[in-house]
Chains A and B, each alone.
Chain A
Amino acid sequence: MHNSKRGWVFDRLERRLSSDGRTDEALMVHLCEGDDAALAELVRRYQNDLFRFCVHYLREADAARDMAQQTFVRVYTARERFDATRKFRPWVLCIARNLCLNELKRKKPVSMETLEEYASSARDETGEVMRFPGDGPDELLMADERRQLLKRALDSLGEEAREIVVLRYFERMSAREIGGIVGSTEGAVRTKLHRILAGLRERYSACKDEL
């Protein structure tokens, strides 16, 4: 986890260092004035962030690549509507999000049963929830199995619930940032997120009662 977190921070740092010194918002202003090179710079800065973002939504690299590309085309066609007094990043993420949600509308939801499988795997022999310390080789193996179940469980969530989880844990966004993307408040995002995670717990309890 720590390594990947460092990688995440590094990516952003690298993006900043490779920039031409202009802010994203200034680049948008220049784009509106006809400077296409400004768009190229924005693409360079954000293409992999957006690609990752779309991968997390769509779960397919090829579709995510297309979506990232389409997002930048939308940035260009909607450039006049960008408010330079606001931040570029949430705006472009909103565009990508909508494109992804549109794509996902065509897909059917997966069964909820996998959630229960994950919840069942997340308890120890005493029936208590495991803490997943996960350092030793055996535990790593167990963690891998557990994560496979969790991944399947994630796929079974409704898109709205999955989106919150994706933004919080995959994109490492704060509740405030997520609220800005999905049009909700910081508190409401935390409440929803807790409810989603608590759903796992409830299913776990139900399974335990059946034993």
Chain B
Amino acid sequence: MMDGACDRYRDDLMALLEGALDAEAESALLRHIEACPACRAEQAWLAAVGADLEAIGDAMVKEAPPIDVVDEVMAEVARLKAGAATSSPKVVPFETPARRLRPWAWVGAAAAAAAAVLVFWAAGFRITKTTDTVPGPTVVQAPGPQDEQRERTVAQVAQPAPERATAHEGDSTQPGSVDSDDLDRHRWGRTVPIETETTALAALTVDDVLAARRDAITDPGARGQLAQWASLTVEKARALAASDDAPLGAKVGAAQALPPEEAEPVLLAALAASPSDPYVRYKLAGAYAAHEDPESSAKAVEQLTILGEAAPDNALLQYQLAVELFGQGDVVGAMAALGQARELETATAYTGAASRRRVEALVASGMDPELAGILTALTAGAEQYTDLVALGQQLLGYGREQEELGDPELAQDIYESVYEMGTQVAAGASYSAEELAGLDLQQDAIEVLSGFFEFLQLPDSLGILTAQTNQLVSAFEAVGQFFEELDAYFAQQIERSFIGRIADAILNEGDLNLFDVLFGTGDTGADGATPADAPAAE
């Protein structure tokens, strides 16, 4: 057996036996082998086992006579073409679900009349969602131009950023080209910083922020303004990262606004100081994953594995692990991670921890602490929303890849995992942005699965999807109601001294729990004590 000193020759030895070593390396290795009995024995062993294995493979083939399937293949192709000529869905050329996707179209013609437009306010960004209520019985509709048009109106995120990941609208035409450019921009862990107008920021007050929040109920521009105010510029983030005086938490917050390669050393230093901090490790894994080269991907897997052991209940880590493993071509490992993820109850993207670090960074860069708190609270979860939806799109992309490569069963497993991920994200959400991401993930999965089942002509499966869609519409309506309450709350003149408590409640408990934390009622306190009156009542 080779000892530790000879380990470095291991790969060369394998390459030598493969005949793939260059002349210089080969002669160096042969010189070593001549002088090293252990490596000589290793070489002999590997060669002998290799010869045995080749003999086994040859014997297996020898037992199997040559085949001739030309006629059978061409007959099958002729059958497919004949079917296509009669417009049977079964014989539509095998295309990605994305291309044949007609979200909600399959739920029935009557649904169009009952279309409901839900306009959501979600922590600094707005989502306009056009949905159809679902009548029974289900009628699978034939594709048509109107359906294509409607596809583009569903689930679009209005301005400002983060934009909705729209990879499913692109056309992935090659096996292996899983993600569109759109998706690359939204790859999880990758931050797209928004440049801040520093002059306006210097004079910013809490009252300005509250006014913008009121305007944002109807004005997308005001929403954009809030998001901008709450973001560090790259320059400021760099200055914080390089500063000797900035607290570690602030540096971690600054890393959110840095490109992955610059965020990495900051996060590594933070992890050295706090190795059990899940958020830091999570972000570090994300920074590695953003590089998309094998070495970085291996590092991301390493971090996610460590984190997965420390936080075994967080399904999100397993989904991210699956994406990395798919990226590495380890389909078996990725499916195992998905299997593990699906056994869990909830998935969380550490939105609270991220927001609190953001506040630290804004304060360290000179912003008033109260201002930093309320700005971050009002925009909390935007980055996580983008990352979660992009993660789902990546998984769906890998599902499409498997479909294209001839493995519909595996593809279905992946698509269903994305649906499951959506339910887990929604179940674990403390922030409305997370919950919305969970619902959108479910919708994305249902859209893909509907096309998939339609293609395979599985009416029973489509029926199940219809039931899931009904549940989803109800969930969207419930979230929509929450957003309306939130809007109504911020539409009022809020007591200035109450702002700190609102920010703390959101940053520590999540905006979904805001009314519980503030009023202990689960509502806005409007019955008896209005939100504006609430501080006085306490």
Once the chains bind, are A40 and B76 in contact (CB under 8 Å)?
A: no
Once the chains bind, are A74 and B64 in contact (CB under 8 Å)?
A: no
Q: A40-B70, A185-B294 are in contact. Are A55 and B60 (CB under 8 A)?
A: yes
Q: A56-B57, A132-B52, A194-B10 are in contact. Are A39 and B406 (CB under 8 A)?
A: no
> Which residues from 367 to 420 on chain B have a C-beta closer than 8 Å to any C-beta of chain A?
402, 404-407, 409-410
In the complex, which residue of chain A has the Cβ closest to the Cβ of B408?
Answer: A102
> B174: which of A55, A72, A83 is its contact (CB, 8 Å)?
A83
Q: A64-B64, A102-B409, A166-B57 are in contact. Are A47 and B70 (CB under 8 A)?
A: yes
Q: A98-B402, A102-B407, A190-B15 are in contact. Are A154 and B175 (CB under 8 A)?
A: no
Once the chains bind, are B174 and A70 in contact (CB under 8 Å)?
A: no
> A47: which of B13, B56, B68 is its contact (CB, 8 Å)?
B68
Q: A129-B45, A190-B15 are in contact. Are A70 and B328 (CB under 8 A)?
A: no
> Which residues from 170 to 211 on chain B have a C-beta closer than 8 Å to any C-beta of chain A?
173-175
- The distance in angstroms between the C-alpha atoms of A55 and B67, with both chains bound, is 12
| Binary interface encoding of chain B residues 38-61 relative to chain A, with 1 for a CB under 8 A from any of its CBs, else 0 | 000100111011111111111111
Once the chains bind, are B56 and A131 in contact (CB under 8 Å)?
A: no
Once the chains bind, are B330 and A183 in contact (CB under 8 Å)?
A: yes
Q: A130-B48, A187-B11 are in contact. Are A68 and B56 (CB under 8 A)?
A: no
- The distance in angstroms between the C-alpha atoms of A193 and B10, with both chains bound, is 11
Please tell me if B329 contacts chain A, counting CB pairs below 8 Å.
yes
| Chain B contacts for A176, CB-based, 8 A | 20
Please tell me if B309 contacts chain A, counting CB pairs below 8 Å.
no
Once the chains bind, are B57 and A171 in contact (CB under 8 Å)?
A: yes
Once the chains bind, are A80 and B93 in contact (CB under 8 Å)?
A: yes
- The distance in angstroms between the C-alpha atoms of A43 and B404, with both chains bound, is 19
> A169: which of B44, B53, B404, B406 is its contact (CB, 8 Å)?
B53
> B54: which of A4, A48, A94, A185 is its contact (CB, 8 Å)?
A4
Once the chains bind, are A169 and B69 in contact (CB under 8 Å)?
A: no
Once the chains bind, are B64 and A52 in contact (CB under 8 Å)?
A: yes
| Chain B contacts for A154, CB-based, 8 A | 53, 56
Once the chains bind, are B73 and A172 in contact (CB under 8 Å)?
A: no
- The distance in angstroms between the C-alpha atoms of A110 and B249, with both chains bound, is 51
- The distance in angstroms between the C-alpha atoms of A187 and B386, with both chains bound, is 35
Please tell me if B117 contacts chain A, counting CB pairs below 8 Å.
no
| Chain B contacts for A51, CB-based, 8 A | 64, 66-67
> B56: which of A44, A78, A147 is its contact (CB, 8 Å)?
A147
- The distance in angstroms between the C-alpha atoms of A68 and B67, with both chains bound, is 9
Q: A61-B63, A80-B93 are in contact. Are A150 and B14 (CB under 8 A)?
A: no
| Binary interface encoding of chain A residues 98-113 relative to chain B, with 1 for a CB under 8 A from any of its CBs, else 0 | 1101100100000000
| Chain B contacts for A78, CB-based, 8 A | 94, 175, 404-406
Please tell me if A156 contacts chain B, counting CB pairs below 8 Å.
no
> A1: which of B20, B41, B54, B70 is its contact (CB, 8 Å)?
B54
Once the chains bind, are A39 and B56 in contact (CB under 8 Å)?
A: no
Once the chains bind, are A48 and B56 in contact (CB under 8 Å)?
A: no
Total interface residues on B, using CB and 8 Å?
62
- The distance in angstroms between the C-alpha atoms of A77 and B94, with both chains bound, is 5
Q: A74-B406, A151-B56, A175-B20 are in contact. Are A132 and B51 (CB under 8 A)?
A: yes
| Chain B contacts for A184, CB-based, 8 A | 294, 328-330
Once the chains bind, are A71 and B44 in contact (CB under 8 Å)?
A: no
- The distance in angstroms between the C-alpha atoms of A79 and B41, with both chains bound, is 49
| Binary interface encoding of chain B residues 499-536 relative to chain A, with 1 for a CB under 8 A from any of its CBs, else 0 | 00000000000000000000000000000000000000
Once the chains bind, are A131 and B53 in contact (CB under 8 Å)?
A: no
Once the chains bind, are B407 and A68 in contact (CB under 8 Å)?
A: no
- The distance in angstroms between the C-alpha atoms of A91 and B266, with both chains bound, is 41
Once the chains bind, are A159 and B44 in contact (CB under 8 Å)?
A: no
| Chain B contacts for A201, CB-based, 8 A | 1, 45
Please tell me if B331 contacts chain A, counting CB pairs below 8 Å.
yes
- The distance in angstroms between the C-alpha atoms of A9 and B349, with both chains bound, is 54
B225 to chain A, nearest CB (A): 44
Please tell me if B245 contacts chain A, counting CB pairs below 8 Å.
no
> Which residues from 56 to 78 on chain A have a C-beta closer than 8 Å to any C-beta of chain B?
56, 59, 61, 64-65, 68-74, 76-78
In the complex, which residue of chain B has the Cβ closest to the Cβ of A130?
Answer: B48
Please tell me if A28 contacts chain B, counting CB pairs below 8 Å.
no
| Chain B contacts for A29, CB-based, 8 A | none
Please tell me if B332 contacts chain A, counting CB pairs below 8 Å.
yes
> A200: which of B20, B49, B67, B76 is its contact (CB, 8 Å)?
B49
| Chain B contacts for A5, CB-based, 8 A | 54
B401 to chain A, nearest CB (A): 9
Q: A43-B70, A170-B53 are in contact. Are A175 and B14 (CB under 8 A)?
A: yes
Please tell me if A33 contacts chain B, counting CB pairs below 8 Å.
no
| Chain B contacts for A64, CB-based, 8 A | 64
Q: A183-B329, A191-B11 are in contact. Are A39 and B74 (CB under 8 A)?
A: yes
| Chain B contacts for A169, CB-based, 8 A | 50, 53-54, 56-57
Please tell me if B18 contacts chain A, counting CB pairs below 8 Å.
yes
| Binary interface encoding of chain A residues 178-211 relative to chain B, with 1 for a CB under 8 A from any of its CBs, else 0 | 0000111101101101100100110001000000
| Binary interface encoding of chain A residues 29-45 relative to chain B, with 1 for a CB under 8 A from any of its CBs, else 0 | 00000001001100110
4 tightest A-B contacts by CB?
A: A183-B329, A170-B57, A169-B53, A77-B94
**Which positions in B face A, CB cutoff 8 Å?**
1, 10-11, 13-15, 18, 20, 41, 44-46, 48-70, 72-74, 76-77, 80, 93-95, 173-175, 294, 327-333, 402, 404-407, 409-410
A selection of 9 A-B contacts at a CB cut-off of 8 Å is: A1-B51, A5-B54, A39-B73, A76-B73, A78-B405, A80-B93, A105-B409, A183-B327, A187-B11
Other A-B pairs, 11, CB within 8 Å; known A68-B67, A101-B331? A39-B73, A56-B57, A68-B69, A69-B72, A77-B94, A78-B406, A98-B407, A102-B410, A147-B59, A169-B54, A176-B20
